[in-house]
């Protein structure tokens, strides 16, 4: 085990600083490649988990907005969806910041939306107690809509009357 690899286990900050110095000096043969690869892989996994988590919450709230907001607003005059809107705004903001910090994630957005959508439906089901059949089997929102600050899905006439 090299001194640098030992440093990884004892002083992470110093290990990272030393690897950065070696990279700047182009002394690649002295780098702790094994641990650098591990760290890079973990960073990628962490960013992907955050993308997944934020899209899950955002999609669930868009579904609740589309399929439950109308009914609640009609029943309770004071219901204005403020907390849902705040969550949608926050998730979009955090996603924008994540994609700015990790632009490589942009290539995985459509795939992640498709992968997370069933979990978003499950979350919306548990929170709304609406019937499963009301939710589309595939995500009804385009990538552009998901990230559009002005997009809030409207309930169709059939949805408004079927579950009132």
d(CA 111, CA 71): 32
CA distance 142 to 55: 13
| Predicted pLDDT at 163 | 41
- Using one digit for the tens of pLDDT, what is the confidence trace for 10-53? 888 898 899 899 999 999 999 998 888 887 776 778 899 999 99
pLDDT digits (tens, 9 = 90+) for 142-160: 999 999 999 999 874 444 4
Asked if 130 contacts 67 with a C-beta cutoff of 8 angstroms, the reply is yes
Q: How far is CA 58 from CA 13, 42, 55, in A?
A: 35, 24, 5
| Side-chain half-sphere CA neighbours of 124 within 13 A | 30
Which residue in 48, 86, 65 sits closest to 140, CA to CA?
65
* Residue 160: both structure tokens together: 């408004």
Spatial distance between the Cα atoms of 130 and 104, rounded to a whole number of angstroms: 37
Continuous segment of H or E residues that includes residue 128: helix 109-128
What is the value of pTM for the model shown?
0.73
| CA-closest candidate to residue 123, choices 61, 41, 44, 34 | 61
pLDDT at site 56: 98
Secondary structure element (H or E) that encloses residue 88, with its range: helix 82-101
């Amino acid at each position: 085990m090299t001194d640098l690899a030992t440093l990884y286990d004892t002083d992470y900050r110093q290990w990272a600083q030393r690897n950065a110095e070696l990279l700047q000096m182009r002394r690649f043969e002295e780098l702790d490649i094994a641990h650098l690869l591990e760290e890079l892989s973990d960073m990628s996994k962490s960013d992907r988990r955050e993308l997944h988590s934020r899209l899950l919450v955002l999609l669930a709230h868009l579904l609740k907005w589309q399929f439950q907001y109308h009914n609640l607003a009609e029943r309770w005059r004071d219901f204005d969806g403020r907390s849902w809107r705040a969550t949608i705004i926050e998730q979009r903001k955090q996603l924008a910041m994540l994609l700015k910090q990790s632009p490589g994630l942009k290539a995985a957005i459509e795939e992640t939306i498709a992968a997370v959508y069933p979990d978003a439906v499950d979350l919306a089901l548990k929170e709304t107690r609406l019937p499963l059949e009301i939710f589309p089997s595939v995500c009804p929102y385009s990538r552009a809509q998901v990230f559009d600050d002005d997009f809030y899905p409207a309930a169709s006439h059939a949805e408004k009357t079927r579950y009132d």
